[in-house]
């Protein structure tokens, strides 16, 4: 199949918009007879007038061939093998090889289980590569040699019409990789695009398939959605599209009876969105502490308050049951535990307690959490006002670091 081609005058991307360090990589690949294209998010973002966060290259050279061309390159990944090519000690570009998802028999390189792609390392042509991607707008190729964009999937028209469209039939695409349902939501809000109706309807019908995805992968994907700067909007969409209930099933069940937590989530996400817009650090633990809080509160009532189980026990139970859906790394678990276990201390305004709390490493995160709780619960308002004054005097270096 021949692609539609768009020259610089049609697509409008200036070479000066592209990170000039790309040339080091592009020239080596092209000079050795390989094609090299910019692909994916970087090209899509530039075409939509946004600044790309990184530049990814795709080529016909295999990972081993790429490595042999650069002195500082290494292969990473198993599900997708890609090469990191370093242009200096700290900076690298991701270079991947054209892939194909047409049925192959080499189980070592390509593996589908119940329609789900588990391994995808069959290399192919640019044409095949274009059709194994998710959305049309993510499947455009900017030839680094000629500056021409190659479009196999009518993605340029979708960019023009602000349409988010899957390349394959939605049911097939989501069966192959249910994470695409989360990506659909993230791109829709982040890029201000409109998802096609059939795609939206299919998400609702297939949302339960998100549980076929590894809980480790879901941790990253959920974080990307919540830390995109559009957390409020994304959360609402996750609920509407019936994805939230499969990501946080315990929380979801509680939400049905206690809708106040919906306000709590929105308040927390609004706060996170603002922090991201202001360029402040956001700790991944925080948002998980927020989403699992209703679950903790219910179990606190049931077990901790009558001393039938310890707080550690309850905490372990929550993490274990949630981890079947989304796996939370140990490092973040500790912060979640600190945030929750410190909450009652904010009701104690004695000098001694203030001194103790403000010295703690997790004070900032725990305070922010308490503040959000106070926004939806009048009981805590007067305490939160006092802590607001107190925390002003806690060093700002710490502020940035801890949350």
Report how far apart, in Å, the C-alpha atoms of 23 and of each of 94, 208, 221, 242, 381 are. 13, 44, 31, 44, 56
**What's the min distance (Å) between Cβ of 248 and Mg ion?**
26
Residue closest to Mg ion, measured at CB: 41
Residue closest to ligand ATP, measured at CB: 41
Is 56 tagged catalytic?
yes
Residue 230 binding target from ligand ATP, Mg ion, none, CB below 5 to 8 Å by type = none
> Which residue's CB is nearer to ligand ATP, number 155 or number 294?
155
Q: Rounded distance, CA 296 to CA 340, Å?
A: 8
H or E segment at 6? strand 4-6
> Which residue's CB is nearer to ligand ATP, number 191 or number 292?
191
Residue 134 binding target from ligand ATP, Mg ion, none, CB below 5 to 8 Å by type = ligand ATP
**What's the min distance (Å) between Cβ of 139 and ligand ATP?**
6
Q: For residue 52, state whether it binds Mg ion (rule: CB under 5 A).
A: no
Residue among 56, 101, 120, 368 flagged as catalytic: 56
Residue 138 binding target from Mg ion, ligand ATP, none, CB below 5 to 8 Å by type = ligand ATP
Would you say 57 and 95 are in contact if contact means Cβ atoms under 8 Å apart?
Answer: yes
Residue 26 binding target from Mg ion, ligand ATP, none, CB below 5 to 8 Å by type = none
**What's the min distance (Å) between Cβ of 183 and ligand ATP?**
6
Is 134 tagged catalytic?
yes
Q: For residue 41, state whether it binds Mg ion (rule: CB under 5 A).
A: yes
Residue 221 binding target from ligand ATP, Mg ion, none, CB below 5 to 8 Å by type = none
E strands present in 34-161: 36-39, 56-59, 73-76, 82-86, 92-97, 110-113, 116-120, 140-143, 149-151
Q: Which of 345, 280, 340 is nearest to 311 (CA)?
A: 340
Q: Rounded distance, CA 89 to CA 132, Å?
A: 33
Report angle CA 386, 305, 254 to the nearest 5 degrees: 85
> Which residue's CB is nearer to Mg ion, number 41 or number 178?
41
Is 54 tagged catalytic?
yes
Per-residue tokens: 391? 């925390």
* DSSP summary character for residue 166: B
The region that residue 95 occupies, defined by phi over 0 for left and psi between -120 and 50 for alpha, beta otherwise, is: beta
Burial of 195 (0-12, 13-18, 19+ CB in 10 A): buried
**What's the min distance (Å) between Cβ of 82 and ligand ATP?**
10
> Which residue's CB is nearer to ligand ATP, number 56 or number 241?
56
The contact set with ligand ATP (CB under 6 A) reads: 40-41, 56, 133-134, 138-139, 177, 179-180
**What's the min distance (Å) between Cβ of 40 and Mg ion?**
5
CA 358 to chain CA centroid, nearest Å: 32
> Which residue's CB is nearer to Mg ion, number 190 or number 275?
190
End-to-end CA distance of the chain: 50
Candidates 38-46, 67-75, 113-121, 238-246 — which segment interacts with Mg ion by CB under 5 A? 38-46
Rg of the chain, C-alpha, whole Å: 24
Residue among 45, 101, 129, 134 flagged as catalytic: 134
> Which residue's CB is nearer to ligand ATP, number 166 or number 267?
166
Residue 139 binding target from Mg ion, ligand ATP, none, CB below 5 to 8 Å by type = ligand ATP
**What's the min distance (Å) between Cβ of 176 and ligand ATP?**
8
Would you say 87 and 93 are in contact if contact means Cβ atoms under 8 Å apart?
Answer: yes
Catalytic residues: 54, 56, 134
- Which residues of this chain interact with Mg ion, rule CB under 5 A? 41
């Amino acid at each position: 199949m021949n692609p539609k081609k768009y020259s610089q005058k049609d697509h409008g991307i200036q070479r000066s918009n592209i990170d000039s360090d790309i040339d080091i990589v592009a020239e080596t690949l092209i000079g050795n007879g390989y094609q090299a294209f910019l692909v994916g998010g970087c090209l899509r973002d530039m075409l939509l007038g946004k600044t790309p966060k990184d530049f990814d290259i795709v080529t016909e050279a295999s990972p081993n061939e790429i490595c042999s061309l650069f002195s500082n390159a290494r292969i990473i990944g198993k599900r997708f093998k890609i090469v990191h090519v370093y242009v200096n000690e700290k900076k690298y570009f991701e270079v991947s090889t054209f892939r194909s998802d047409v049925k192959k028999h080499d189980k070592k390189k390509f593996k589908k289980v119940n329609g789900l792609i588990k391994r995808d390392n069959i290399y192919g042509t640019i044409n095949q590569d274009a059709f194994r991607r998710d959305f049309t707008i993510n499947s455009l190729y900017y030839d680094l040699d000629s500056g021409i964009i190659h479009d196999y999937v009518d993605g340029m028209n979708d960019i023009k019409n602000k349409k988010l469209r899957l390349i394959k039939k939605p049911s097939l695409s989501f069966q192959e990789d249910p994470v695409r349902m989360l990506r659909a939501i993230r791109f829709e809000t982040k890029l201000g695009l409109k998802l096609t109706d059939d795609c939206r309807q299919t998400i609702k019908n297939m949302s339960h398939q998100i549980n076929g995805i590894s809980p480790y992968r879901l941790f990253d994907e959920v974080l990307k959605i919540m830390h995109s700067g559009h957390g409020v909007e994304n959360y609402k969409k996750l609920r509407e599209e019936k994805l939230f209930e499969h990501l946080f099933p315990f929380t979801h069940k509680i939400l049905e009876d206690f809708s106040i937590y919906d306000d709590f989530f929105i308040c927390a996400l609004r706060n996170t969105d603002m922090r991201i817009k202001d360029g402040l650090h956001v700790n991944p633990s925080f948002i998980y502490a927020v989403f699992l809080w209703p679950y903790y509160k219910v179990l606190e009532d049931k077990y901790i308050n009558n001393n039938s189980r310890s707080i550690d026990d309850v905490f372990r139970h929550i993490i274990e049951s949630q981890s079947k859906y989304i796996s939370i790394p140990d490092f973040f678990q500790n912060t979640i535990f600190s945030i929750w276990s410190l909450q009652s201390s904010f009701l104690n305004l004695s000098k001694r307690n203030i001194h103790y709390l403000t010295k703690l490493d997790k004070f900032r995160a725990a305070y922010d959490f308490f503040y959000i709780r106070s926004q939806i619960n009048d009981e805590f308002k007067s305490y939160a006002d006092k802590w607001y004054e107190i925390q002003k005097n806690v060093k700002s270096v710490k502020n940035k670091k801890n949350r």
